[in-house]
Amino acid sequence: MELEEEERRDIVQMLNEARTLLQAGKINELKDCSNKVIHSMTIYQDKYATNAAVIVYAISKTLERWKLKQEERELSAFVREMKEELEKLSSLLERGEFEEFLIECGKVRGKIAQVDSHFSDYMEEVLHKARLKKASKVYEHGLSIGKAAELLGLSEWELMQYAGKTKVHDVDESKIKDLRKRLKELEEIFK
């Protein structure tokens, strides 16, 4: 599958920024950084931006959950490994090795899942949480619930419950009709 140049640029930029933030220990900014490819995810709807966003968010979430619990040495090892992985992913994209990029994403997800399963008290794994978060963002940007769920490999059930608790529905464009008119029209059906 080919990658549009603009999308490739967005993803590489995001991965490089993520590396810098990881190095600086800026977890909150790292989390936000993963949103920089939401536009690409919404428009292009392929696996590249989706994988990159999920991985970066999952890394930030893992660190967030771990930070107070783990020895500095273990945390540093994870950070070092993830920095190397982000650099590898960025290089693969720059060289146009798209299939290899996806394979490497799979490996990174595996590493995150392994670490998360050993050290997390939470039932919800970070990768799943990352997919929910990104799907909700894509829904917010205009794709349907079904489309967003399909893009991130989720069910509508879990995405509805997650998105409902955000501000996604508190937008002006969502209120099309006057509520009295809505009810009046419905009254006709239920007469």
Partner 1 sequence: MRTIVLDSSSIISLSTTCLLWILKKLKEIAHVRFVIPRKVKEEVVDISLTNPNYQLDGIRILNYIGEGIIEVVDDARIQGFASRFLDLANNLFVARGRSLKLIHYGEAEVVALSKIVGTKNLCVDEKTMRILLEDPIALKRLMERKLHTPIEIRNERLEELKKNYGDFLIFRSAELLMISYRRGVFTDFLAGCGVDGWIRKRFLRGALTSLKLNGCSISRDEILEYVELISKNHSESELSS
Q: At its nearest, how many Å lie between partner 1 and the CB of residue 160?
A: 3
Which residue from 8, 33, 36, 42 is in contact with partner 1, where contact means CB under 8 A?
42
Nearest Cα neighbor of 63 from 84, 73, 51, 78 is: 78
x/- string (CB under 8 A) for partner 1, residues 121-160? ------------------xxxxxxxxx--x----xxxxxx
Contact predicate 35/77, CB 8 Å:
no
Choose between 59 and 149: whose C-beta lies nearer to partner 1: 149
DSSP for residue 165: T
- Nearest alpha carbon to residue 154 among 179, 134, 177: 134
Tokens of 124: 């919800």
Options 1, 3, 4, 111; binder of partner 1; rule CB under 8 A: 4
Quote the distance between the C-alpha of residue 143 and its chain's center. 15
Residue selected from 17, 27, 43, 126 as contacting partner 1 according to rule CB under 8 A:
43
Q: Does 182 bind partner 1 (CB under 8 A)?
A: yes
d(CA 141, CA 17): 23
Binding to partner 1, residues 74-103 (CB under 8 A):
none
Write out the residues near partner 1 by the rule CB under 8 A: 4, 6, 39, 42-45, 139-147, 150, 155-161, 163-165, 168-171, 173-177, 179-180, 182-187, 189-191
